[in-house]
Structure 1
Amino acid sequence: MVVTSRVRLNRISSSTRNAALPPEVIVGDQIVAAEGYVLAVRILDDKATYNTVEDTTGRMLSLRAGDILAGTLGTRRALRGYAGIVPTHIAVGDTIEVLNLGGILGRCTSVNPEVGAPFKAEVLGAILAFPELGDRVGRPAHIRDRAVPPADTLESRIPVVYIAGTCMNAGKTVAATELVRGLARGGLRVGAAKLTGVSLMRDALSMLDAGAIAALTFNDVGIASTHAGVTVTTAKGIFNRLAAAKPDVIVAELGDGILGEYGVQDILRDAELMGVGAAYVMAAPDPVACWGAAELMRREFDLPITAITGPATDNEVGQVYVTAGLGLPAHNARRDAAGLLAVVRKALAAWRVETDRAERHGPTRSRSAAATETAVPSLLAQ
């Protein structure tokens, strides 16, 4: 028999938003220890750094000892943050940790000293959902409730600008936001997506603020944090749903790095997803990362790099290396957003030409070769 109690939440983290939780919830003592399930926990300590949580509106709220938080079980593998897992067993009264700003909960296995130790939290119980009006028996809430369905087949043919990086905090979101802004101001309807990473609304909200007509993340598909094996169907579900808004182009950020553990490689190896790839912007912090990214994209994925951005392009030292040493465009998204936009628009125009040609005669070149051609001028190239 499930023992239940009523709990009033002080903080409802953004990772739980699919569950549509009210401020007052019923919790049960039978907990499913698996990703995506929603728990109520009590924060046990105070912190001076990394001490906030994003709520379901996108606001960052402070967390203090004694606050009761609704969070989502999940994993994290962040080089510059926490690593953590979902414990194999969780009971009321156990202590777990808050692994990210979006309220992901689990057992911390490794800490980056820059963010300090994570919040510790006492498990109060599994938050129960009552999906049918009049239900008297609840079931453990999960963020796949009300989620966008994943898809095995990509139905969308909207061109995608992929923003990847060599690591976290390499400048991907800045580049994605500036491209959304520039494309939208140029008269295009822009959809936006965050395809990999750990749950947080911030990046998608940034793209919406820049002019995207719609933005979705993997959390909208009921995924707390991505990993190999789930990202391809998640991305296809996101693109299919965004296509309903009739965008002219989708800007899609790939969270973490191309060698990380969030499933980016699966996306880059999927023929359907790369078939709609019109541009590939790479964010990198230094010249070595630029070289490594160029080699990986060419050898492992047979994909071109449309432009390199990020801290490696902060001044002419890195820019000269990228352009002269690698033969690639280098445009800093903060200081030269117009240059980055121009290169991407040219790639979009070339993709349109290549797609039209392939539909008439069949594909004749690899994606990396086709991307090097001079584009025929069009609205997208202006």
Structure 2
Amino acid sequence: MTATAATVLSTTEIPDEATAVRTPVAAERMARAKKAYTTRFLARRVEMDPGGYELLSGSAVRPAAGDVVLARVAEIGQHKRLEGPGSRRQTLFVGDEVLVAYGHRYAPDQFEAAVPQDLRSSHLIAAGGLTGVVTAQHAGMAPATVLEPVGLLADHAGVVNLARLAPHRLRTDVPRTASGRFPAGRPTVVAVLGTSMNSGKSTTLACLVRGLATSGLRVAAGKVTGTGAGGDPRLFADAGAAAVLDFTDFGLPSTFRVDHGRVRALLASVVDALAASQPDVVVVEIADGVYQAETARLLGDPIFPAVVDRVVFAAGDALGASAGVRVLEDAGIDVAAVSGVLTASPLATREAGAALAVPVLPTFGLVEPGTATALLPR
């Protein structure tokens, strides 16, 4: 079910025929290309009818975030597998043709990358099927897998952009100054945030979903921001979420460098769409850390407390937990508990417990119905 008010994100226009090379794509070639998780809605369409596509190439072509590109694997690097539409990891070989989406990436433990301004050589910057040019990387990462774009994919309606194929649209009626509960009549909403990438947010959310569902509540789960991949949504479903959505269902391959208006619309839209499944509780993850630009601005926006009732905070150590809770509380956000990676260490858990006024709960303890339901507002 989509929001009643909708807007389609902008897509790339087809360049003038005189300056862009158009090459029809044989149906067999479309069917054979390896499809990514980010392009799963396109993959469904291609499975029904692989004909009617062409490639746009040449110096006039300017890719945009969300545009689908047919690219050839030129060199295998960090990502040796491509997550497919059903989340199976497809082994990549040099010479493979893949259908992936352009996007920006923010991953302190992996890559920072940007959409290039032309069809130059690019990189596979996320296994879920995101391509861009790496601008910085963690020292522990191998060089990124290299892709050679063949051309932007186009059909009768223009360049194929994820936003055009997505089943949901962003709300256009999100108030600039929100107060009270928005959307009206929504269920209880709990958000999971963290200190950084790999602080345990997704596992914390999944365990919380499990505990709430085991208690007899109907739970819906979503991921508002991040980089497109199927692992977390499937984890949430495995934990017992009755409905699961993320930003890719709204046509975004990632949310890094997405303007604030769309990020705040994403929060309201994801919660609104999940609420349509009539759950008792909606649990959503906000990716990366509280200092990440898009997250920090969202936390300071009045839409956040209008949509989210409470926060569970995931941290990697006691100091991060203390600092993160302080940032949230200074923003007027109700923190219910701390959990995450730090709770794998009894010593770190004790340190955090001594420094914080909120409970520090073992991540896998959240699967207990009493522990999970105690985090809901009374």
TM-score (norm 1): 0.82
For the 8 Å contact 2:111–2:137, the answer to whether it is kept is yes
2:298 maps to 1:267: yes
Task: Give the residue type in structure 2 aligned to 1:22.
Answer: V
Aligned to 1:29: 56
Residues 183-203 of structure 1: per-residue CA shift (max 9 Å, x gap) = 111111111100111111210
Equivalent residue, structure 2, for 1:242: 274
2:210 corresponds to: 181
Provide closer, same or farther for how the CA distance between residues 101 and 331 of structure 1 changes in structure 2, counting only shifts above 3 A: same
Equivalent residue, structure 2, for 1:369:
none
Instruction: Within 5 Å, give how 1:244-323 maps onto structure 2.
Output: 244-261=276-293, 263-299=294-330, 301-323=331-353
Cα deviation per residue 1:156-186 (whole Å; 9 max; x = unaligned)? 5221111100000111111111111111111
Map Cα deviations across residues 130-173 of structure 1 (whole Å, 9 max, x no partner): xxxxxxx4511011014311123242522111110000011111
Return closer, same or farther for 1:69/1:316 CA change in 2, 3 Å cut-off: same
Q: CA deviation at 1:119?
A: 0.8
Letter in 2 for 1:243: A
Deviation at 1:293, TM superposition (A): 0.3
Post-superposition offset of 1:266: 3.2
In structure 2, C-alpha distance between the alignment counterparts of 1:115 and 1:231, rounded to whole Å: 29
Gaps of 5+ in 2: 1-16, 175-181
String of CA shifts for 1:217-266, please: whole Å, max 9, x gaps.
111111111135121101211111112111111110111111114x2223
The gaps in structure 1 that reach 5 residues or longer are 130-136, 351-382
Quick check: 1:307–1:328 contact (8 Å CA) kept in 2?
Answer: yes
2:46 is paired with a residue whose SS is: coil
Size of the aligned set, in residue pairs, is 335
The aligned residue for residue 13 of structure 1 is: 36
Given residue 145 of structure 1, which amino acid in structure 2 is its aligned partner?
Answer: R
Give the 5 Å matches for 1:1-382. 1=17, 2-6=21-25, 7-8=29-30, 9-19=32-42, 20-22=44-46, 24=50, 26-30=53-57, 31-47=61-77, 49-90=78-119, 94-129=120-155, 137-147=156-166, 148-151=168-171, 152-153=173-174, 154-155=182-183, 157-227=186-256, 228-229=259-260, 230-261=262-293, 263-299=294-330, 301-334=331-364, 336-338=365-367, 342-350=370-378
Secondary structure, counterpart of 2:267 in structure 1: helix
Relative distance call for 1:189 and 1:210 in structure 2 (3 A) is: same
Indicate if the aligned counterparts of 1:214 and 1:245 stay in contact, CA closer than 8 A.
yes
Q: 1: distance between equivalents of 2:127 and 2:205?
A: 21
Whole-angstrom CA distance in 1 between matches of 2:329 and 2:310: 14
- Maintained 8 Å contact 1:27/1:124: no
Task: Give the distance between the partners of 2:162 and 2:224, measured in 1 at CA.
Answer: 16
Give TM-score scaled by structure 2 length: 0.83
Asked if the contact 1:13/1:103 (under 8 Å) is kept, the reply is: yes
Structure number with higher relative contact order (C-alpha < 8 Å, ≥ 6 residues apart):
2
Q: How far did 1:276 drift?
A: 3.7
